[in-house]
Amino acid sequence: MVYIKRIDIRGFKTFNKKVSVNLDRGFTVFTGPNGSGKSNILDALKFSLGELSPRELRGGSLSDLVHKSGTGDARAAYVAVQFDNSDRKIPVDSDLVTVSREFSKGGEGIYRMNGRRLSRKQVQDILSSGDIQVTGFNLIAQHSITRLAEISTEERRRILEDLIGLGVFETKKAEAKVQLSEADLNLRVAAGKVEDVRNRIERLERERNDLLRSKLLEKEIGNQQARIYSSQIVALENKRTNASLELEVEQKNLEALRHERDELTSQRSKVEADRRHFEELTVTQGNQELFDVERKIAEASNGVVRAKAEAEAAKNILNTRTKQIESLQNQGEQIQNNFKELPTAVRNLTAQKANIEARFGEANAKAEKLNTALQNARDALTADAKKQESLDAEIAALEKELSTFIATSKGSSAKLDLTASHLQTLEARHQEFSNLAEELKKRIREMEKLGKEEEKRLQDIEEKAKEYTELKDQRHKEIDEALDVAKRARVTVTEFNTQRSIADTLQAEEKALQKLEEMAEEGALKGVLGRLQELIKYGDEYSKAIEAASAGWMRALVVKDL
């Protein structure tokens, strides 16, 4: 059982400064006059355990719980309760458990357990494991006994169930059922996932087998293609060797033809140089003479033109200037004489021109002969060029065939490279599938492990349910025992009420006796000798025995025989 060892109160109701109340095991009684704060200690205990109702704490609001005085109000209300947890009823690994609550005006409550800040729900969940509840009957307020005697049997049974913790048990049982249903659902989901993963693994295994067969077939196809390509490459190498030999022979022939062409080209260059030299000599002499003749003809033509211009000017001047007629006539005659001499000069120049043309014709005849020889040389050179072109065409055809063979060889190499690349891609995909299969196997193992954990958790829940069932049976037994205790308590309460009635009756009789004594002292009554205990004498050691033997008659009045 958990016991309270100490209660620390500061700033709560009538407690301004810190007050510590140390308690021991057993029955402890607080005594004091009205208003001294006895009930406030019980309120402080409720406050520390998380009571939120100001009415239960006998206040208008939670702010009213903070101490108020004329000297100054407290900053906050603080209550700490220290429990003896030697038997570990409270699930905290400590012999002492301190629960505190601090509340400031306009603020929020701060709950701590062993100095660690927690929420109100967490504190109450931990304390409820030790059957400590602020709403339970761990704390019995004033007049609670009378109320318990007056309530019905069903309410009393419900109170006893709450007192022994059956309500908490039912709550935990409901939570365990919810967890059990969740575990079943998770188990079914896990089973469905395992089946799905198993189907995927089987499908992936089939795909992997197909991939392996495909890889083997492609490998065999690659080997056969490699043999075919190797034989083709060998044949092409032989053709290329033969073509290279033929090409070397044709290149030698081509070199010989090129040498002959170079000789003919040099001869043609020499002939053309002689022709150009002859043409330069012929054309230079003929052109010089022709240029002189043409220059003289031009000068004569210019003179005729100039004479015509002067004649025209003379005519114009004649019309305007009559005074110069004679001089102009003389000049005209002179011009006419000069004009007569010009045809003779023209004839001489024409004869020279004809001579020059004859010489130019001879030079042209020589040039034509040279051109004929040059044309013959050109025709021979053209024939050689055609022969060279045919050789070049044959060489180009051989080179094209060689290029075709080389391209075919490169194509075969490219196909081999493509096949190798495809094989590498298939190997990469095979590796990916293998990794995926490993991952799926790993996930299956994890799911199996999760299923085992869920099964273990289910077993734990079933064991807890079994324990809760045993606890429930034990609680029912405790309830029956508590009902017996309640029955005996009712008998005790009845006896207490009877004794109280008797005490009230005796108290009334005592008042009546006191009234009779007062009347006797005043002289209103005569024959009253006094109380029996005042009229007899005995030793103190016999007081208890005499009190028991008198059965209450020691306080009776003794009177005369009236």
The DSSP-derived string for 383-412 is: HHHHHHHHHHHHHHHHHHHHHHHHHHHHHH
Are residue 135 and residue 247 in the same domain, yes or no? no
Identify the DSSP state of 36.
S
Are residue 283 and residue 387 in the same domain, yes or no? yes
The number of distinct structural domains making up the chain is: 2
Q: Please report whether residue 118 resides in a domain.
A: yes
Q: Give the Cα separation of 28 and 20 in Å (integer).
A: 15
Are residue 232 and residue 381 in the same domain, yes or no? yes
- Structural domain boundaries, residue 118: 1-142
Which residue, among 293, 285, 292, has the nearest Cα to 347 in the 3D structure? 293
Which tokens sit at 6?
């100490």
Are residue 135 and residue 222 in the same domain, yes or no? no
Q: Among residues 436, 464, 493, which one ends one of the domains?
A: 436
Are residue 239 and residue 93 in the same domain, yes or no? no
Are residue 105 and residue 233 in the same domain, yes or no? no
Q: Give the number of other CB atoms < 10 A from CB of residue 74.
A: 20
Which residue, among 136, 194, 192, has the nearest Cα to 162 in the 3D structure? 136
Which residue, among 182, 197, 177, has the nearest Cα to 454 in the 3D structure? 182
Considering the entire predicted model, what is its pTM?
0.35
Q: Please report whether residue 546 resides in a domain.
A: no
User: Has residue 367 got a pLDDT over 60?
Assistant: no
Are residue 239 and residue 113 in the same domain, yes or no? no
What count of Cα atoms within 13 Å lies in the side-chain half-sphere of residue 75? 2
Are residue 104 and residue 224 in the same domain, yes or no? no
Q: Which long-range contacts (CB under 8 A, 24 or more apart) does 374-380 make?
A: 374/268, 374/271, 374/272, 374/275, 377/264, 377/267, 377/268, 377/271, 378/268, 380/264
What's 3's domain CATH number?
3.40.50.300
pLDDT digits (tens, 9 = 90+) for 253-279: 888 888 888 888 888 788 778 777 766
Are residue 120 and residue 220 in the same domain, yes or no? no
User: Has residue 486 got a pLDDT over 60?
Assistant: yes
Are residue 421 and residue 292 in the same domain, yes or no? yes
Q: Among residues 404, 436, 468, which one ends one of the domains?
A: 436
Q: Please report whether residue 538 resides in a domain.
A: no
Q: Which amino acid is at 53?
A: S
527 SS3 class:
coil
Are residue 253 and residue 369 in the same domain, yes or no? yes
Strand blocks (E) in 11-95: 19-22, 76-84
Are residue 300 and residue 424 in the same domain, yes or no? yes
- Per the prediction, the chain carries an average pLDDT of 74
491 SS3 class:
helix
Would strands 116-118 and 110-113 be described as parallel, antiparallel, or unpaired? antiparallel
Backbone angles phi, psi at 101, to 5 degrees: -140, 135
Q: Please report whether residue 494 resides in a domain.
A: no
H helices of 16-104, in order, are 38-48
Q: Give the Cα separation of 536 and 531 in Å (integer).
A: 9
306 SS3 class:
helix
pLDDT digits (tens, 9 = 90+) for 324-353: 556 555 655 665 555 555 556 556 656 665
Q: Please report whether residue 543 resides in a domain.
A: no
User: Binning pLDDT at 50, 70 and 90, where does residue 6 land?
Assistant: very high
pLDDT at residue 553, as a whole number? 80
Strand blocks (E) in 114-171: 116-118
pLDDT at residue 83, as a whole number? 92
Which residue, among 28, 78, 4, 21, has the nearest Cα to 48 in the 3D structure? 78
Q: Among residues 142, 165, 181, which one ends one of the domains?
A: 142
pLDDT digits (tens, 9 = 90+) for 518-543: 777 777 677 777 887 778 888 878 87
User: Binning pLDDT at 50, 70 and 90, where does residue 96 land?
Assistant: very high
Q: Please report whether residue 378 resides in a domain.
A: yes
Q: Please report whether residue 560 resides in a domain.
A: no
Q: Percent of the chain at pLDDT above 90?
A: 5
Chain-centre distance for alpha carbon 13: 54
pLDDT at residue 100, as a whole number? 94
pLDDT at residue 117, as a whole number? 92
C-alpha pair distances (Å), 556 with each of 90, 522, 534, 536, 537: 58, 19, 10, 12, 15
Q: Please report whether residue 106 resides in a domain.
A: yes
Q: Give the Cα separation of 312 and 305 in Å (integer).
A: 11
Q: Which long-range contacts (CB under 8 A, 24 or more apart) does 268-277 make?
A: 268/374, 268/377, 268/378, 268/381, 271/370, 271/373, 271/374, 271/377, 272/374, 274/370, 275/367, 275/370, 275/371, 275/374
